[in-house]
């Protein structure tokens, strides 16, 4: 599987360092408001990547996403509304998880809150101060000039960096590039104790601490929107590697922005809609289809017209599934004739093409095209097939559902929305693996056999166990 690594600026072969478990960190929300539709893109893209790795590669994915529940945006919103920061954060955190469920996105393995890990952030900052990478001048700043590799991720180095950051210069800083690690508290703001007085950590420090604490090592994938490349992810790398002397994440993966009217969509520009408002107009599968119909690294132009087109394209595929189920759902299985067998021989080719597209830098556009062509071929066959030959269309529907799973598409009504099926299967697969390690083969075989009786097949591969 190849993924574009922002760190090296090229596509590279990806596999987890320990061969079995992918350790993946995706930057989460700052919970001061509802998410807008631009924020949906990383949710949908990296959920698809995670599910593909689990279902088709047989890897276990540790998927950690932070919740930023203290930040300037939260403090400012609290001042505007009078709602305490803690209550504001709790309300919009719950709204965020409601959104994940509505989209059929799998829940993160862990969703650590920033405010629950302040002491660990203080320790990281103290390490950086002790090593000469940070200094106190009112606030505590990271000394960028001391970290030789600064700018490696974003490509912003030397004079170019200085020119871009001169507007942020402060008399308190040694250098305009230096960024804050610890902010001294102002009256009425949330605060925690530290060697530099009461205050709170900077945003960049949060993700370094939480990713290392909840994923351990080796760290495989750090993901988010490409607006986070600089300064957020660049500043994370600087802190993590300065503190430990070891590389941070092996892969950085970034999705392109959502555009509206030719401009990047953002709350600051006012050209946005809230995600929940879009979900009131379009169902989750239509939204996912729309977002995945454009390569994740390219900009995506948002429009209701685009979503309507996605709805129509999705409906054509659903029609085949629903009509096949209605016509053949309870029919007894019978041996197909030559035409049916010839059609069945086509199915592995469509699956192989889908896999090739997904493994080529998560090309969901090509993957969806493979599914569309499979549906077109099935409709052509259906128009002439007779008798037992028609029963092979059930195999087509099973394949469509299999290929649609990572994309969050074409599942039985309710399954995608619950977002539970794959998690339960992974639990059973992990349990079976543990039983086999303990040589409790009878019990392990019982899990496999009982799943088979329910129509679920386990396949043991060199990359792990996968299920269909």
Looking at residue 168, its pLDDT comes to 53
Looking at residue 416, its pLDDT comes to 43
Please, which residues have CB within 8 angstroms of residue 155's CB and are 6 or more apart in sequence?
9
Hey, what CATH topology would domain 2-133+147-156+204-281 get? Rossmann fold (3.40.50)
The Cα 333–Cα 331 span in angstroms is: 6
The Cα 113–Cα 86 span in angstroms is: 12
Looking at residue 417, its pLDDT comes to 41
Looking at residue 158, its pLDDT comes to 57
10 Å CB burial of residue 24 (0-12, 13-18, 19+) is buried
Checking 429-438 for CB contacts under 8 A at 24+ apart, the result is 429/458, 429/464, 429/465, 429/467, 430/60, 432/458, 432/465, 433/465
The Cα 147–Cα 445 span in angstroms is: 54
The Cα 124–Cα 115 span in angstroms is: 15
For domain 310-414, the question of CATH label 1.10.10.60 is answered with no
Q: What is the pLDDT along the chain (468 residues), one digit of tens a residue?
A: 999 999 999 999 999 998 889 999 999 999 999 999 999 999 999 999 999 999 999 999 999 999 999 999 999 999 999 999 999 999 999 999 999 999 999 999 999 999 999 999 999 999 999 999 999 999 999 999 999 999 999 998 755 555 545 545 556 899 999 999 999 999 999 999 999 999 999 999 999 999 999 999 899 999 999 999 999 999 999 999 999 999 999 999 999 999 986 676 666 666 778 999 999 999 999 999 999 999 999 999 999 999 999 999 999 999 999 999 888 876 677 788 999 999 999 999 999 999 999 999 999 999 999 999 999 999 999 999 999 999 999 999 999 999 999 999 998 754 444 446 667 887 888 889 888 888 888 888 889 888 876 778 887 866 568 777
Same fold, 2-133+147-156+204-281 and 310-414: no
Domain boundaries, the chain: 2-133+147-156+204-281, 310-414, 421-467
């Amino acid at each position: 599987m190849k993924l574009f690594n922002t760190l090296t600026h090229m596509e590279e072969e990806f596999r987890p360092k320990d061969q079995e478990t992918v350790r993946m960190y995706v930057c989460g929300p700052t919970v001061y408001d509802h998410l807008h539709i631009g924020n949906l893109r990383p949710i949908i893209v990296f959920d698809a990547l995670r599910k593909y790795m689990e279902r088709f590669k047989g890897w276990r994915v540790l998927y950690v996403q932070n919740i930023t529940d203290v930040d300037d945006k939260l403090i400012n919103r609290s001042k505007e509304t009078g709602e305490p920061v803690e209550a504001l954060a709790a309300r919009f955190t719950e709204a965020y998880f409601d959104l994940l469920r509505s989209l059929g996105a799998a829940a993160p393995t862990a969703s650590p809150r920033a405010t629950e890990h302040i002491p660990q952030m203080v320790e990281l900052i103290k390490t950086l101060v002790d090593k000469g990478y940070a200094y106190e001048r009112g606030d505590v700043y990271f000394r960028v000039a001391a970290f030789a590799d600064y700018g490696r991720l974003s490509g912003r180095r030397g004079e170019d960096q200085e020119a871009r950051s001169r507007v942020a210069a402060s008399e308190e800083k040694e250098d305009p590039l230096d960024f804050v690690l610890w902010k001294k508290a102002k009256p009425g703001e949330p605060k925690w104790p530290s060697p530099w007085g009461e205050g709170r950590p900077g945003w960049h420090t949060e993700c370094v601490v939480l990713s290392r604490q909840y994923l351990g090592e080796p760290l495989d994938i750090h993901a988010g929107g490409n607006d986070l490349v600089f300064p957020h992810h660049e500043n994370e790398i600087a802190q993590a590697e300065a503190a430990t002397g070891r590389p941070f994440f092996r892969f950085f993966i970034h999705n392109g922005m959502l555009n509206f009217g030719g401009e990047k969509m953002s709350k600051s520009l006012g050209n946005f809609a809230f995600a929940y408002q879009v979900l009131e107009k379009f169902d989750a599968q239509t939204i996912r289809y729309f977002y995945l119909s454009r390569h994740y690294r390219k900009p995506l132009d948002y429009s209701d017209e685009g979503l309507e087109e996605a709805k129509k394209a999705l409906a054509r595929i659903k029609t085949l599934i629903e009509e096949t189920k209605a016509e053949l759902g309870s029919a007894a299985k019978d041996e197909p004739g030559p035409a049916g067998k010839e059609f069945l021989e086509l199915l592995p080719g469509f699956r192989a093409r889908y896999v090739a597209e997904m493994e080529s830098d998560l090309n969901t556009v090509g993957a969806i095209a493979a599914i569309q062509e499979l549906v077109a071929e099935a409709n052509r066959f259906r128009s002439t097939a007779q008798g037992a030959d028609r029963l092979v269309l059930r195999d087509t529907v099973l394949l469509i559902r299999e290929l649609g799973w990572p994309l969050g598409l074409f599942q039985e009504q309710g399954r995608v929305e619950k977002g539970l099926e794959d998690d339960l299967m992974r639990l059973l697969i992990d349990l079976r693996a543990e039983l086999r390690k303990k040589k409790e083969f009878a019990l392990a075989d019982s899990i496999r056999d009982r799943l088979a009786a329910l129509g679920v097949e386990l396949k043991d591969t060199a990359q792990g166990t996968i299920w269909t």
